[in-house]
Amino acid sequence: MRVVHVHRIRGIGGSERHLLTLLPALAARGVDAVFVGLDDPAWDPTDFYGALRVPAVRLPAPRDIDPVLLGRLVRSLRGDVVHTHLVHADMYGGVAAKLRGERLVSTKHNDDPFRTGAFRHVERGVARLADRIVAITESLRRFTIEQVGIPAAKVETIHYGLDELPEAWGANPPDDVPASARVLLSVARLTEQKGIDIAVRALPSLPDDTVLVVLGDGPERARLESLARELGVGGRVFLPGRVPDVAAWLRRATVLVHPARWEGFGLGVLEGMLAGLPVVATNVSSLPELVVDGETGLLVQPDDPAALALGVARALGEPQLGAAGRERALRDFSVDRMAERTLALYETVSASS
């Protein structure tokens, strides 16, 4: 079976990291997996393609509206199943797949509020083209059905899977984090969604030897740095951006914090669980599906720095939460489980043609 995955590439985020894990796992099960990347020239995709372990076709995608791209995709999508990821791939890849008469699967990776606005009408139209839609959590499945309006019979949940910490693609640069510090680590983009400002606001209530390190970049960087200075914790907040060895930081951390306001899955949370770290996350969207409150980590209310600080203080004294989280990650969120369920879905879709 030949399956063509389509995704617009703008660096490596959660959905891209998911594909770097899923595609070789499908190939190992006999799937002829091919990746078609819609490359945004404003971003450098070198890291992604360097880590990709299946054949790739790269198409320039400099514009949101691009009829030329549709024509290129029609010529490129030759497979038994076309599997699209996120809005650009859904729109261009979905239409191209149907013009070619191929089966179509689409994965929904987040519950971004924009999906409930005017765009939901576009998404419903694109969804009519799909044979099946994958939601990466039960929470996201409910959101897709109840708030976006996609028919329930079309939507199936398949969780992300991980077995190992991220593979390094280089050595991390030197940093100024004190060797004796207790590191609160977050692996997240610097955007309003991820709630890093709440972690910064929680820091003054925590012991002076605790520092916040956030691996990721984004438009909120300047605001977060200014906020840290205003609160007098500028020397305890470190924003190194994207780093080549995330696993090294996971091993160095004491607690994984994820104060997101909404979340499609929370791959950084799963990485923290695999690393055996106690996790303190917000009780929103998908996160309760990963973190069992009081057993494998702690859940707190969003937009509440005091609650986050209390959760972190408790997690610092309960390292056994990390061991329980690692056990749950290996048991319930394995690559094997993800790949087998995805392959079964392809077989079902292909059999219906």
* CA angle 311–316–319, rounded 5-degree value: 110
CATH value at residue 28: 3.40.50.2000
pLDDT digits (tens, 9 = 90+) for 264-291: 899 999 999 999 999 999 999 999 999 9
* pLDDT at residue 166 greater than cutoff 90: no
Q: Are residues 10 and 89 in the same domain?
A: yes
Q: Are residues 227 and 131 in the same domain?
A: no
Q: How many CB atoms lie within 10 A of CB 226?
A: 12
Q: How many CB atoms lie within 10 A of CB 186?
A: 27
Q: Are residues 132 and 187 in the same domain?
A: no
Query: What is the residue range of 24's domain?
Result: 2-161+334-351
Q: Are residues 6 and 61 in the same domain?
A: yes
The pLDDT-based confidence of 301 (bands split at 50, 70, 90) is very high
Q: Are residues 95 and 225 in the same domain?
A: no
Residue 174 lies in a domain: no
Q: How many domains does the chain have?
A: 2
Residue 280 lies in a domain: yes
| Residue found by looking up tokens 């890849």 in the block | 93
pLDDT digits (tens, 9 = 90+) for 74-107: 998 889 999 999 989 999 999 999 999 999 999 9
Q: Are residues 215 and 263 in the same domain?
A: yes
Q: Are residues 216 and 253 in the same domain?
A: yes
Mean pLDDT of 44-64: 92
Q: Are residues 75 and 89 in the same domain?
A: yes
- pTM beyond 0.85: the answer is yes
Is 221 exposed, middle or buried, given 0-12, 13-18 or 19+ CB atoms closer than 10 A?
middle
Q: Are residues 340 and 232 in the same domain?
A: no
Least confident span in 7-16, 178-187, 221-230, 281-290 = 7-16
Cα 259 from Cα 52, distance rounded (Å) = 30
Is 30 exposed, middle or buried, given 0-12, 13-18 or 19+ CB atoms closer than 10 A?
exposed
